[in-house]
């Protein structure tokens, strides 16, 4: 629960809650990290041990809010340059910050969803550095005592020989802190000038600091993707990386298990999950090559070039920058309480953010949703991962189930392979699918009732994709794709196939039952997939016995 200071651009009014009498240094961000809990256990030093990667992440998630963190300016993507900038955003003298309640609630909800400990008192600080797109010369952040600490993110990766087994891993979350975003510098190489857009200045961010518990790009990408799903389920961040709503910095080093961590490099501002995996894996290979060739890994900031697939140096970190952190004098400590009963005497509950209220509003999280899908529908864990990972695919799958008698295990293949395959091929979202859940359910009902074969069903599905205005029933009738129901006609076709392939018939009669499958395929070809495989097998077995 929070106590908010009723501040305006004109001046600072009386605060709702009191300032604490004492001031304590509760927590500092340290550059030293714990060992990865997913690495092998420490062993005796051995020259034969291979160098392995160690990966930690710092993620900036833009809070889904109508207004900025400390001002009433609107948050709008692609707004005209410098069109949503308040006097405070532009750092005009005399303006003061007003804390956005929505941003506090979003940070608390995210912390609870990630099993963090929510601090009852968190503090704001000024972090000084000088960029053209930071008009105040400092950023308001939470260096000493952030709003949430000591969390954990559990995520899934695919393992096994065929990469088809779901393996569960986790990464520790050091802290979640509130801070304001900077503006944006637009470099015009033609005119040799840099333009400043302050629309983004002051937008609320959650910075999530993950411990170096990962070992490769695949794990880091899976962790970020899981975080995306959680943030989107919570509604605290839209997590659209292409719009800069989720920006990732990767801290990468290599070492031999059992030895101290190596010198790390930071790969900045990676804006896609796919590029994140590639950047980390490249950086691990690069550092291993440097060490094997007798070189030294430099403590530096690097950027990922998606065109070359390489990381390139930006600046070194040998001279540690002094950010001159200091307490933010214009913001009181942010006080949080469990419920109304724990409020100080005389406090207004309507001006507070209650942890219990936020905890009760937590939605179904992705991990819980996956477990529910497995339990309810009997599908495989890897299928539940695929469903949850695609926005809208769970709802699509369950809508199909409601409209058909087909078993969930039979429906899941159509949704995750046939439908999702075409969506990926054409770079479309589930909501853009030309085949709706009811249309797919109608197609599956035709197959379930024996009116079309499985091969014809796939053929009809392709036609439905090309002609979404046509139903499965209509396509089957127009192209005469209904299953051959005339038993005598099917008997004749099977006999014709056998007469034209005497060698195969002889092999079956001599005990080679595998050849029977070839004869069945020939019958299917003759009927253009319109024959019932079960009935065809019965006829062929009878005629070859």
Per-residue pLDDT tens digits of the chain, which is 545 residues long: 444 443 333 333 333 333 333 333 333 333 333 333 334 444 444 443 799 999 999 999 999 999 999 999 999 988 999 999 999 999 999 999 999 999 999 999 999 999 999 999 999 999 998 888 899 999 999 999 999 999 999 999 887 777 778 889 999 999 999 999 999 988 888 888 889 999 999 999 999 999 999 999 999 999 999 999 999 999 999 999 988 899 999 999 999 998 999 999 999 989 899 999 999 999 999 999 999 999 999 999 999 999 999 999 987 655 566 789 999 999 999 999 999 888 888 888 788 899 999 999 999 999 999 999 999 999 999 999 999 989 899 999 999 999 998 899 999 999 999 999 999 999 899 999 999 999 999 999 998 888 888 888 999 999 999 999 999 999 988 887 887 766 777 888 888 888 888 888 888 888 887 888 888 888 878 877 777 777 788 888 888 87
What the block records as the tokens of 478 is: 């127009």
- Residues paired with 179 in a beta bridge: 205
Residue pair 139/126 in contact by the 8 Å Cβ criterion: yes
DSSP output for 276-329: HHHHHHHHHHHHHHHHHTT-----EEEEEETTTTEEEEEEE-SS------EE-T
What the block records as the tokens of 417 is: 């392979």
Backbone phi, psi, residue 539, to 5°: -65, -45
Q: Is the dihedral of CA 291, 295, 296, 300 positive or negative?
A: negative
CA–CA dist 112, 120 (Å, integer): 13
CA–CA dist 453, 440 (Å, integer): 15
What the block records as the tokens of 377 is: 């529908």
pTM of the full structure = 0.79
DSSP state of 258: T
CA–CA dist 409, 421 (Å, integer): 17
The pLDDT score that the predictor gives to residue 160 is 74
What residues contact 457, with CB distance under 8 A and at least 6 apart? Answer: 443, 444, 446, 447
DSSP output for 123-158: --EEEE---TT-TTSEEEE-SSS-SEEEEEEEEEEE
Backbone phi, psi, residue 421, to 5°: -60, -45
Burial zone of 287 (CB within 10 Å; 0-12 exposed, 13-18 middle, 19+ buried)? buried
What the block records as the tokens of 488 is: 């005598």
> What are the percentages of helix, strand and coil residues in the chain, rounded to 5?
35, 20, 45
Residue keyed to tokens 């060739």:
293
The pLDDT score that the predictor gives to residue 316 is 63
CA atoms within 13 A on the CB side of 158: 11
DSSP output for 470-532: S-HHHHHHHTT-S----HHHHHHHHHHHHHH-HHHHHHHHTT-TTHHHHHHHHHHHHTTT-S-
- Residues paired with 169 in a beta bridge: 155
CA–CA dist 507, 512 (Å, integer): 6
What the block records as the tokens of 206 is: 């959650």
Terminus-to-terminus CA distance in the chain, angstroms?
A: 80
Q: Is the dihedral of CA 433, 437, 438, 442 positive or negative?
A: positive
Backbone phi, psi, residue 414, to 5°: -65, -40
Element (H, E) at 121: strand 121-122
């Amino acid at each position: 629960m929070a106590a908010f200071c009723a501040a305006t651009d004109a001046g600072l009014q009386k605060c709702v809650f009191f300032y604490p009498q004492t001031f304590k240094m509760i927590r500092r961000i340290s550059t030293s990290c714990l060992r990865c809990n997913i690495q092998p256990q420490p062993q005796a030093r051995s020259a034969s041990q291979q160098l392995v990667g160690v990966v930690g992440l710092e993620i900036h998630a833009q809070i889904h809010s109508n207004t900025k963190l400390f001002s009433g300016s609107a948050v709008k993507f692609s707004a005209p340059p410098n069109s949503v900038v308040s006097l405070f955003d532009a750092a005009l003298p005399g303006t003061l910050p007003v804390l956005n309640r929505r941003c506090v609630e979003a940070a608390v909800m995210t912390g609870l969803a990630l099993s963090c400990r929510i601090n009852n008192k968190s503090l704001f600080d000024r972090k000084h550095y000088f960029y053209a797109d930071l008009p105040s010369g400092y950023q308001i952040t939470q260096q000493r005592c952030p709003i949430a600490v000591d969390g954990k993110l559990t995520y899934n990766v695919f393992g096994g020989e065929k990469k088809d087994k779901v393996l569960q891993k986790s990464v520790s979350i050091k802290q979640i802190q509130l801070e304001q975003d900077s503006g944006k510098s637009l470099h015009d190489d033609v005119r040799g000038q840099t333009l400043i857009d302050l629309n983004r200045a002051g937008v609320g961010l959650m910075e999530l600091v993950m411990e170096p518990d990962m070992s490769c790009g695949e794990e880091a990408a899976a962790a970020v993707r899981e975080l995306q799903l959680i943030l989107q389920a919570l509604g605290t961040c839209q997590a659209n990386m292409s719009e800069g709503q989720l920006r990732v910095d990767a801290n990468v080093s290599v070492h031999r298990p059992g030895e101290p961590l190596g010198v790390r490099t930071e790969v900045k501002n990676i804006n896609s999950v796919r590029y994140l995996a590639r950047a980390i894996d490249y950086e691990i290979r690069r550092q291993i090559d440097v060490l094997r060739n007798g070189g030294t890994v430099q403590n530096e900031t690097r950027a990922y070039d998606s065109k070359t697939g390489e990381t390139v140096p930006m600046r070194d970190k040998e001279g540690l920058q002094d950010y001159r952190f200091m307490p933010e004098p214009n913001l009181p400590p942010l006080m949080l309480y469990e419920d109304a009963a724990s409020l100080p005497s005389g406090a207004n509950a309507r001006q507070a953010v209650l942890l219990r209220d936020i905890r009760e509003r937590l939605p179904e999280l992705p991990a819980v949703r996956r477990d529910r899908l497995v339990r309810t529908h009997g599908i495989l864990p890897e299928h539940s991962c695929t469903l949850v990972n695609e926005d809208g695919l769970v709802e699509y799958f369950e809508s199909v189930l409601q409209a058909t008698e087909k078993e969930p295990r039979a429906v899941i293949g159509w949704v995750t392979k046939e439908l999702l395959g075409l969506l990926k091929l054409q770079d479309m979202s589930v909501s853009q699918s030309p085949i709706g859940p009811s249309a797919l359910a109608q197609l599956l009902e035709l197959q379930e009732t024996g009116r079309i074969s499985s091969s014809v069903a796939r053929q009809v599905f392709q036609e439905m994709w090309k002609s979404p205005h046509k139903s499965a029933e209509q396509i089957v009738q127009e192209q005469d794709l209904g299953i051959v129901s005339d038993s005598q006609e099917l008997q004749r076709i099977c006999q014709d196939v056998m007469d034209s392939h005497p060698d195969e018939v002889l092999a079956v009669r001599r005990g080679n039952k595998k050849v029977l499958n070839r004869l069945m395929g020939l019958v299917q070809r003759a009927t253009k997939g319109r024959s019932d495989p079960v009935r065809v097998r019965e006829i062929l077995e009878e005629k070859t016995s």
